[in-house]
A and B are shown apart, each in its own frame.
Chain A
Amino acid sequence: MKSKSFSTRLSLNVLLIVSILFVVALSVVAIFSHILISKEAQKSSTNMLNASISDIEQTLLQVESTIQNASWLVKENEQDEEYLYHITQKVVDENPFIVGSTIAFDSNYVNGRFHFAPYSCKDEKTGAIKSLQLGEHYDYFASEWYRKAADSGKPCWSEPYFDKGGGELMMSTFSYPILDNNNQLIAIITADISLKWLTEKVAAIRPYEHSYASLTSQEGHYLSRGENYDLVNETLLTTAQKAKDTRVMELSQKIINGESGMMRYEHHGKSGFAVFGPLHNGWALAITCLYRDVLEQALKMDIILAIICIIGILIMLLVCHRTIRHMTQPLTEFSTAAHAMAKGNFQAQLPVIKTKDEIMQLHDSFEYLQQSLTTYISELKITTKANERMESELNIARSIQFGMLPKILPKNKNCSVHALLTPAKEVGGDLYDYQLKDNMLYFAIGDVSGKGVPASLVMAITLAACRFFNSMELPMKKLVGHLNNNVSENNEANMFVTMFAGRIDLEKHEMVFCNAGHNPIIVIPPDEKPYFLKAHTNLAVGIFPDFQYQDETLFTPTGTRLILFTDGVTEAENHNQELYGNQRLLTLVSAPEFKQFNAQEMTDAIYASVKNFTEGNEQNDDITILSIIV
């Protein structure tokens, strides 16, 4: 997976937080504004409802007062049929809402007028008024508008009906009972009003696009209900039943019961509210509004706000990303610089930082690192150079030291000599020497205390002095005594040399030797076992001047072999810190084939055995082996 850059991750995090904040803020704003707008809509709808109710009532009261006034005229002129017709004509003519009016006399009336009902109606198109006697065509005693008023003795409004015989219109009739002084019914005077105007009026009550208002009668019949509805067969209750919703049923019941108020409801998945209130005559007006309409503007506003927010967030993301990338750009450059430094370029260009912040600290650290590394590397170069110089000087010293050692013994059938010197370091403190002169073989082996350069200096002095005193042909004890005095002089460092030196007279087969604190040498007589030569213990050379050394004599018949060595051989250590030791060496040289070896083979065999024993363990002392065969 590809890792996202720091700036991208940070930007996305900021985006996430800001988005959450925006969503929460927008939601809160939306919820509160929706609540406020809904309340405001309910309030304004209620106001509209009340205004509409009083508007309708004004008309109804006008109709009622017209009829009420006419009832007096009927009472006074009940015998004058002509005048009764005139009254109905006048009622229809004067009140524009009244399309028909009748004065239906009661059957029980004493004057015996049966089925007498003068009636006038207005042609809706022409406005012409025609009159007729309604009782001739129509048994009005059974009709609802008559019975209701006659039975109760009180004025009332009929349920809406479709006037087939009359105006061919949806009508409602206001019936007003005219009573005599004995409270006996004389007649019912009516006013038919067309519901058309009500329909128009109610249809005009539309606070919102999908709002509608409905005017219902006491029994829940629709007097007016928006537009294009079946007013005849449907009632408020049937509508509510269709909705199959208890809330709608409850609402219908409240409206029919003449209550006023506001109620929320759900219809066909749309939520809305209804405000409703009763008219004085038992009718009720209700206005329904869908929240969808109410909140339409608010929703539009919400969407616009959301779009603005999204655009804002995107712009912010862009700016944020660019800013952070700008801020973290130095990190990339630091990374490049670090890579360059890793490849050895300590002068790699660092980014220029102007801000005094953590990046500045990083810059300072980087700069310090560069400076430190540069200094360190230059110092290291100097040290390395010095080391190289020292090494080359040591190599020169080594070749000088090795140059001092004797190389080749002049060929002589009576003796052979071979030597090997391996210093533990470049230069060492071991030495050997030999010389053949007039059948006298002189030889010496020595080991300066310590090793390395200090030992090598003492070795050089000792070797040079040794050779010089040998050339003076001094007796062996004098030779070593002089050597001791020479080395002891000004020996501030308390260095000393253990030495074994000897001379063999090849004709007399006699060896004179002096052991100055050195390891005993191995003697291999021609016909006997090898042994360590016991010698008088003299003090090592260089410790006390004027020490009296003693020399000794050994018979060395032809075939005698001598092995001289330094403690680098017997004290060679293996990994288990075991020493090679005298016994191992003696066992090695006791092997029968050893007597067949020439001098070089003897030396090499011993050295190989030591190396085999140490198994690659670091050599910690100089090793010198000198083999002599006489």
Chain B
Amino acid sequence: MDVTINKEESKTIVVLNGRLDTTNASKFQQDIEPLMEGDNPDIEIDCTNMEYTSSQGLRLFLMLQKSVTSRAGNLILTNMKPQVKEVFDITGFSNIINIL
């Protein structure tokens, strides 16, 4: 799982690459920890190359969503693959996280 974070003026762009599973969930948590504070809460996550997410991964998206919401920001997940989107749909996460 590769995580690339680009901080732009208006928002932060995160590019995910690979599988988000149990083995690298804590690494992903460390990577996104800096995004859970600061004055610029808007985040766009590019999921084009994200192959899979485990329930732990969902939990981290949830944490990020809560953090962004508390700072009156927007979290957007883009270009999600159907099999990943399915997990978000089943768990109801599609209802609370903005997926474009």
Contacts and interface: CB of A to CB of B under 8 A. Distances in A.
Interface string A535-575: 00111100110000000000000000000000100010000
Interface SS of chain B: helix, strand, loop or mixed?
Answer: helix
Interface string A449-488: 1110000000000000000000000000000000000000
A101 interface: no
Interface stretch (B6-14, B42-50, B58-66): B58-66
A494 B21 CA distance: 17
B90 A449 contact: no
A449 B93 contact: no
A93 interface: no
Contacts of B21: 620
A221 interface: no
Contacts of B62: 494, 496, 543
Nearest to B66: A494
B56 A449 contact: yes
Given A451-B22, A517-B91, A620-B22, A496 B59 contact: yes
Contacts of A447: 55
A573 to B, nearest CB: 9
Contacts of B55: 447-450, 496, 498, 567
B92 interface: yes
Of listed B55, B90, B96, residue having the most chain A CB within 10 A: B55
A149 interface: no
A494 B59 contact: yes
Interface size bucket, B side?
Answer: 10 to 19
A520 interface: yes
B90 A543 contact: no
Interface in B69-98: 89-96
A450 B95 CA distance: 21
Interface string A497-530: 0100000000000000000111110000000000
Contacts of A494: 59, 62-63, 66
Contact of A449 (B59, B89, B95, B96): B59
B54 interface: yes
B63 A516 contact: no
Contacts of A350: none
Of listed A539, A543, A620, A621, residue having the most chain B CB within 10 A: A543
A518 B22 contact: no
A378 to B, nearest CB: 31
B93 A517 contact: yes
B96 A539 contact: yes
Given A494-B66, A496-B59, A516 B54 contact: no
Contact of B95 (A518, A537, A621): A537
A449 B92 contact: no
Contacts of B63: 494
Nearest to B83: A579
B64 to A, nearest CB: 10
Interface of B: 21-22, 25, 54-56, 58-59, 62-63, 66, 89-96
26 contacts: A447-B55, A449-B56, A449-B58, A450-B22, A450-B55, A451-B22, A494-B62, A494-B63, A495-B59, A496-B58, A496-B91, A517-B92, A517-B93, A518-B90, A519-B90, A520-B90, A537-B89, A537-B90, A539-B92, A539-B93, A539-B95, A540-B93, A543-B92, A544-B96, A567-B55, A620-B22
Given A517-B93, A518-B90, 5 more contacts: A447-B55, A517-B90, A517-B91, A519-B90, A539-B93
